Structure 1
Amino acid sequence: MNRQVAVTGIGVVAPGGIGRKPYWEQLTSGRTATRAISFFDASPFRSRIAAEVDFDPAAAGLSPREVRRMDRAAQFAVVSARESLADSGLDVADLDPHRIGVSIGSAVGGTTSLEREYLALSDSGRQWELDLSYLSPHLYDAFTPSSLAREVAGVIGAEGPAAVVSTGCTSGIDSLGHARDLIAEGSADVVLAGGTDTPISPIAVACFDAIKATSPSNDDPAHASRPFDRERNGFVLAEGAAVLVLEELGHARARDAHVYALVSGYATRCNAYHMTGLTPHGREMAEAIRHALAESGTDPAAVDYVNAHGSGTKQNDRHETAAFKATLGERARSVPVSSIKSMIGHSLGAIGSLEIAAWALAMEYGVVPPTANLDTPDPECDLDYVPHEARETRVDRVLSVGSGFGGFQSAMVLTRDTGARLPTA
């Protein structure tokens, strides 16, 4: 069995905009959401900037009990899932709960709650012997990443396959790939899938500081994330979430659902090379791209847009530029390529899903978001990276890629549903 898989709902919590419409406006405006860290005193760190989400749990519809129980990453996922479900128009009462699945990606899970609780139990690290009387009864949920899938399952009453995918910075795209496979093989008809991460915490900032992966451009945070620019000096840490409703195409058409796009191809590879390093020739990413394109039946020359991983590190930008040239041939020189990390930073396990949400919307509205802050292109990165301003163009076939610590390289292809009805708004 090989069933087609449609995107029928989108929900987003992102820096600069909560909800898919504010998110899309943020991206197409070319505005950056990166700023000085406000969540804690970041003065001891090398990199003191991030893309934070201005998130009010109560305003987002969460009850006091939900806020007390759930880590910030889980809150983001639930709010995104609720918006996505509403956007899809699915009536839960009409669904068989055993045919509904959940697939959530996350790189660092409940880091926010774990660090907060450790600081409380240890009196900010001053006590070696921890007083467990201060322990939160919900700490176990933060410690166990599977709680993320459980919370999203509760949004729709899903009793089918449920999983948390954790493959570093490709978690968000890999969770969607897993969901696609569940539907294609017949294990589910509907899957709420996406990624969530809230890593803006002292421990995460310290870890990336140690390997000098994040940008130290603290005096100009709005322009710190500079993918493909000669002056780039690392990525900007971020938080966020996106959850999409993936649905078997026949199931979606039977209820006259609006189809944003089809998830027509997916592949993932590991370079088995280095925990954080990348080979310059981009062979592993190229292999994932080739398989994703072949699975979708998309000729490389027919790709209309490429969503780059575009983290703003020199080795990554050069690595994927080489991979695009190796797989797309002459089309690599003319196809629009851009990175939204230039505007919303790098939210680790969430970013892949945020990117897929963006490209489903790009297909919807015929607009390609830009790469912000690309002032002086790196001579080794010589493709059309759509600098500064969004570009109007019809998009029928999107290639999206991700690259993650551990050597993970993933690629996904979205294509237009030729039988889809036109958007109403």
Structure 2
Amino acid sequence: MRRRVVVTGLGLVAPGGIGAKAFWELVSSGRTATRAISLCDASPFRSRVAAECDFDPVLHGFTPQEVRRMDRATQFAAAATDEAVAEAGLRFEDLDPHRTGVTVGSAVGCTTSLEREYATVSNGGRAWLVDHTYAVPHLYGHFVPSSMAAEVAWRVGAEGPVGVVSTGCTSGLDAVAHARELILEGSADIMVAGATDAPISPITLACFDAIKATTPRNDDPEHASRPFDATRNGFVLGEGAAMFVLEEHGHAVRRGARVLAELSGFASRCNAFHMTGLRPDGREMAEAIRGALTEAGARPDDIDYVNAHGSGTKQNDRHETAAFKAALGESAYRTPVSSIKSMVGHSLGAIGAIEIAACVLALRHGVIPPTANLHEPDPECDLDYVPLTSRRADLATVLTVGSGFGGFQSAMVLSRPGEHAA
């Protein structure tokens, strides 16, 4: 019998509230967490808005040593892991550590700490020959993204497969999918998987300013993220983390765990076309969607909701709309689609995992989160994007997709417990 992978715990650090409950209250209500940047001096930049997390590591029980050692993104991952493990009800000391693994996705790693330490050792960039003695002793850990996965592994005592997935903005989806594959192939029974990023820093702001990918709508931060709206003019940067406890289905059943959702299908493609450009026909994303549906044993008309990448750039929104039409056919016009980036921004590598969490919670509550700020639909984006207000629905099978620089396209199908059982 084919192994199956289910979610038994989830944890979140997200803009607008810490924890799954606060996150769901925000996105299901259609409120936005986008605001003027406060984490760094954004005055020199074209785009000065973001979706920040009000996160205090001390209030979350981190020791001064942990705060010193861990980058902000690593702290997010650790806090989200604690919540996911608590919900799953696992006692890792009772488990075989060699059958337990960790996968963490991240696009930009420990950017916050690296930038801070470079500014310190270079005396604010004035010294070409830097003095390493001014750096914190954990600088190497900030430099190597694997330190984030190592911290999570130490936290849960995982001695099985542990690693980092970094595929740009699809990192979160791909990291969870990689963990799923390790369980399916029999390399692990339990994986703690998800993604984290804390990119709100001068270097990231400057990079996106250079290609004009982020919005200059600084006078109205609350309404700056406008996926699928005719007035959109770029995405809003975000930060955060989502972590999950994934288990082999039989393992979860034997211990009496509450199954939140099944990860029933996944596929990814690359357009091999351009670092930031997308083909307008959405062919590669459509292929990823078809592959995920095939693995899940689902038809296009089985999909009750699509969680879109929905970044709020004209190129992405039109590409994605074309992909949905190509992959789902006539069902695309009957299937609700929404983008939570309209409320929590685009947290780069973390957002794919945060969107998986939104799908799990949508399945649990029977509610489709809306696309906030969608007042003037783009005529080229003519699907049902659930504008402004959430919608109650009987959700059995949902699709979430991601699109990343480099041409990465990923799609995952999630099912309500008991659906599509093989």
TM over 0.5: yes
Q: Which residue of 1 aligns with 2:35?
A: 35
Tell me the equivalent position of 2:143.
143
Does the Cα contact within 8 Å between 1:32 and 1:372 map onto a contact in 2?
Answer: yes
Which residue of 2 is the match for residue 207 of structure 1? 207
Tell me, yes or no, if the aligned pair for 1:104 and 1:165 is still in contact at 8 Å.
yes
Shift in Å, 1:133: 1.9
Q: Give the 4+ runs in structure 1 shifted more than 2 A.
A: none
1:423 match: none
Partner of residue 77, structure 1: 77
Q: Secondary structure at the match of 1:401?
A: strand
State the partner residue of 1:257.
257
- CA–CA distance in structure 2, aligned partners of residues 20 and 45 of structure 1: 32
1:167-211 alpha-carbon deviations (Å, 9 max, x no partner): 000000000000010000100000000000000000000000000
Contact 1:2–1:185 (CA under 8 A) maintained in structure 2: no
**1:16-415 correspondence to structure 2 within 5 Å:** 16-415=16-415
> Which deviations, in whole Å up to 9, do the C-alpha atoms of 1:359-400 show, x marking residues without a partner?
101100101110000000000000000000111111110110
In structure 2, distance between residues paired with 1:18 and 1:125: 34
Partner-residue secondary structure (3-state), 2:374: coil
Q: What is the alpha-carbon distance in structure 2 between the residues aligned to residue 59 and residue 127 of structure 1?
A: 37
Structure-2 separation of matches of 1:254 and 1:330: 41
Distance in 1 between residues matched to 2:115 and 2:419, nearest whole Å: 49
| Residue deviations 1:331-380 (CA, integer Å, cap 9, x gap) | 10011100000000000000000000111011001011100000000000
Q: Provide the C-alpha distance between the structure 2 equivalents of 1:152 and 1:19, rounded to a whole number of angstroms.
A: 17
TM-score by length of 1: 0.98
2: CA distance, partners of 1:100 / 1:21: 27
Q: Letter of the aligned partner of 1:378 in structure 2?
A: D
- Aligned partners of 1:92 and 1:175: how far apart in 2? 21
Output the amino acid matched with 2:322: A
Whole-Å separation in 1 of the counterparts to 2:150 and 2:356: 23
For the 8 Å contact 2:27–2:340, the answer to whether it is kept is: yes
Q: Tell me the C-alpha RMSD between the 2 structures.
A: 1.0
Q: Distance in 2 between matches of 1:220 and 1:32?
A: 12
- Please say if residues 40 and 200 of structure 2, whose CA atoms lie closer than 8 Å, have aligned partners that are also in contact: no
Distance (Å, rounded) in 2 between the aligned partners of 1:18 and 1:289: 31
Offset at 1:91? 1.6
Report how far residue 93 of structure 1 moved: 2.4
* Whole-Å separation in 2 of the counterparts to 1:402 and 1:256: 33
226-235 vs 132-141, greater mean Cα deviation: 132-141
Contact 2:93 2:157 in 1 (8 A): no
Q: Give, as a single letter, the amino acid of the residue that structure 1 aligns with 2:111.
A: T
Counterpart amino acid of residue 116 in structure 1 = R
Deviations 1:151-176 (A, max 9, x none): 01012100000110000000000000
The question of whether the paired residues in 1 share the 8 Å contact of 2:397 and 2:419 is answered with no
1:309 maps to amino acid: H
Q: CA deviation at 1:239?
A: 0.5
How many residues are matched? Answer: 420
Kindly provide the CA deviation profile for residues 104-143 of structure 1, in whole angstroms up to 9, marking residues without a partner as x: 0000001000000011111111122212221110010110
5+ long unaligned stretches in structure 2? none
| Distance in 2, Cα, partners of 1:148 & 1:132 | 22
Check the 8 A contact 2:283/2:323 in 1, yes or no.
yes
Structure 1, residues 27-85: CA drift from partner, whole Å, max 9, x if none?
11111000001112211100001101111001112111110100011000000011100
Unaligned runs of 5+ in 1: 421-425
For residue 94 of structure 1, report the CA deviation from its aligned partner: 2.0
